[in-house]
Structure 1
């Protein structure tokens, strides 16, 4: 399932993040420093140093934004969230070729191991600030090219082959992270999400009825059957 989340960040949060990332003393390093052997062959970008105070501050802003979003919770059913990272693509470090992220990653921020069920990219630059830079996702739903407004995010399966197209002008800024879900199967998460959204629509249209109560029970019984909290 691929899902566009709108306005994850408030305008003020976005301004605060950009002030840090655009500062002359922002600690950008070679993105290959965090890549595995295969990924390092196709990765050409910059990454904010994970152990910097700037990265620690921005992680807090992004995590707070993610945790207050009900649509993200319904779609991803988070059990653990890998600490958000931040990257930059520009003509000098323009692209990240086709790759699949590691299945389990170790977070330097909190020491946790996180299974990468769901990938998330939060866009921090508007599309008119740069040329190229589309996040291209290859999966059972076809090839999707994603380039969203600043403050918006996209969720997609961690199993997907994906890449970032070369940036030829400007700078593409983003936060990226992974979510270990309480429900490991992407298909099961999709079923739960669709059921949750449709029950919500019925409740808005009809109010609380025996049917909406019954369907809510079906949702929670499926979640009880499939979830590992």
Structure 2
């Protein structure tokens, strides 16, 4: 299941992020790639002193956590530090699957991958996030400030940028609910109860859906 969250980062916050990025520098992205991905990763990665990187990561984390649909879709237990990635003409990231375990002193499992778009799609050509789902291939090039969240188990790639520059923030999430099918059921139930509340108020149907949602979350969650 793939989720798109529109307007997750405000124009004001994106402007602030871009000012903070000037306090750091970009280096070849292959330096942060796993051994198998180094040969296909040709984008650049941002690095800065912690006072600047912590502020950028705080803005992005708060943007995710404050979105009404984020928690109900991900049931996030942990959010990895963000990587700020820039792809200029000729840069991209070939087909790969994200590492299952991430971190050094603190190890987390990657259940979901998240990309937040920090540039308008009008600023570059190419650069689509391409996700392979069996026989189906999906391509995404979202408006500035929007995010896409998808299972980390999928093969995916970033098509080469042919003109302009693509700037994104990428992170990974460990979920309290490890199983993707169970997360989808919980997300559907949460959406259903919100629709019932909006159209009918707190009815018996709302209470029964909420009870089922809570009990399944209790049954399936790993704390």
Task: Identify the TM-score tier after normalising by the shorter chain.
Answer: over 0.9
Partner of 1:79: 77
Q: Secondary structure at the match of 1:41?
A: helix
C-alpha spacing 1:61/1:144, structure 2 compared with 1 (3 Å): same
Deviation readout 1:21-41 (Å, 9 max, x if unpaired):
3x3x53101101111111001
Counterpart Cα distance in 2 of 1:142 and 1:221: 34
TM-score (norm 1): 0.93
Partner of 2:41: 43
C-alpha spacing 1:50/1:103, structure 2 compared with 1 (3 Å): farther
Alignment of 1:99-118 (within 5 A): 99-106=96-103, 111-118=105-112
Deviation readout 1:71-120 (Å, 9 max, x if unpaired):
0110000001111110000015x11000000001006xxx4211100100
Partner of 2:151: 157
Counterpart Cα distance in 2 of 1:169 and 1:201: 43
User: CA shift at 1:52, angstroms?
Assistant: 4.9
Q: Is the 8 A contact 2:24 2:48 kept in 1?
A: no
Structure 2 unaligned segments of length 5 or more: list them. Answer: none
Q: Secondary structure at the match of 2:85?
A: strand
Q: Is the 8 A contact 2:25 2:48 kept in 1?
A: no
Partner of 1:55: 53
Q: Which consecutive segments of 4 or more residues in structure 1 shift more than 4 A? A: none
Counterpart Cα distance in 2 of 1:69 and 1:207: 22
Counterpart Cα distance in 2 of 1:130 and 1:113: 35
CA-based RMSD of the aligned residues comes to 1.5
Query: How many residues are paired up?
Result: 223
TM-score (norm 2): 0.96
**2:98 corresponds to 1:97:** no
Counterpart Cα distance in 1 of 2:47 and 2:191: 38
